Amino acid sequence: MSPGRWMAALKSGWLHHHALLVAALLLSAPAAHAFNIEHSEARYADKHFQYELVVTLNAPIDRVDAVLRDYADYPSLNHRILSANVLDRPAPDVVILETKVEVCFGWFCRNVTRVERVQESKHALVAVADPARSDVKFSETRSELTLEHHGTTRVKYVTNVVPGFWVPSVGGRRMLLRTLENETRDLFMNVEQKALGPVATSP
């Protein structure tokens, strides 16, 4: 074989090997991060702070559901959730949940307690606060999960809160709405990561 043909054959073999290597790497690579926000809206109306988020998570619906029902582990999902404790289970699909959350207005921060009755149903949670035991006058939060294409999970999250604590008259509304939006997004990003992680096993 002439030197020219030998070099051409060597180059062709190298390109073929390189193509196979790239294909193998692509096939073995993890799925792309699919945290995709479809809708995000924070608003204030008649003393109600409201936030709605629709997002697609790159995780199986049953794993996302399991993470959202692991109430005691809520502090790992967001740094502002200081504690989460199940106080009672008065019925098979009902949880009395107490959470303590840090709320900040600039340099001033305070801990806000909510005691909620959480109604569990298939791929859905509805939490309604007890004002007599909470630092809110009203609070209702709904989470609904839907199975999407390629095993992803669509989350619709809606919360509506009337604070029972002091909100600064200057800039307070804007700061609280921004906090609702940013912290909820961060929480569901962490839900996705945890749902993609290994399933916890009892010791």
Bridge partners of 54?
39, 156
Q: Is the pLDDT of residue 4 over 60?
A: no
Short-list 53, 77, 57, 36, CA closest to 156 = 53
- The helices-and-strands tally (H runs, E runs) of the chain is 3, 8
Q: What is the mean pLDDT of residues 97-107?
A: 94
The pTM of this model reads 0.81
Higher pLDDT, 203 or 48: 48
Q: What is the mean pLDDT of residues 169-197?
A: 95
- Confidence bin at 169 (pLDDT 50/70/90): confident
For 77-91, the pLDDT digits (tens) are: 999 999 999 999 999
Residues 6+ apart with CB under 8 A from 73: 67, 84, 194
- Confidence bin at 200 (pLDDT 50/70/90): low
Q: Dihedral of CA 74/163/95/158: which sign?
A: negative
The pLDDT value recorded for residue 202 is 47
Q: Calculate the CA 135 to chain-centre distance.
A: 23
The pLDDT value recorded for residue 158 is 98
The pLDDT value recorded for residue 32 is 47
What's the mean pLDDT when you consider all of the chain?
87
Q: Is the pLDDT of residue 146 over 60?
A: yes
Question: Rg (Cα) of the chain, in Å, rounded?
Answer: 24
The pLDDT value recorded for residue 190 is 97
Q: Is the pLDDT of residue 160 over 50?
A: yes
Percent of the chain with pLDDT over 70: 81
Q: What is the mean pLDDT of residues 61-82?
A: 97
The pLDDT value recorded for residue 22 is 40
What are the residue ranges of helices labelled H in 160-200? 172-196
List b or e across 24-58, with b for residues whose CB sees 16 or more CB atoms inside 10 angstroms: eeeeeeeeeebbeeeeeebeeeeeebbbbbbbbbb
Rounded Cα–Cα distance for residues 203 and 183 (Å): 32
Give the chain's end-to-end CA distance (angstroms, integer): 66
Short-list 62, 69, 63, CA closest to 97 = 69
- Confidence bin at 24 (pLDDT 50/70/90): very low
Reported as type and span, the H/E element at residue 73 is none
Phi, psi (5° rounding) for residue 182?
-65, -45
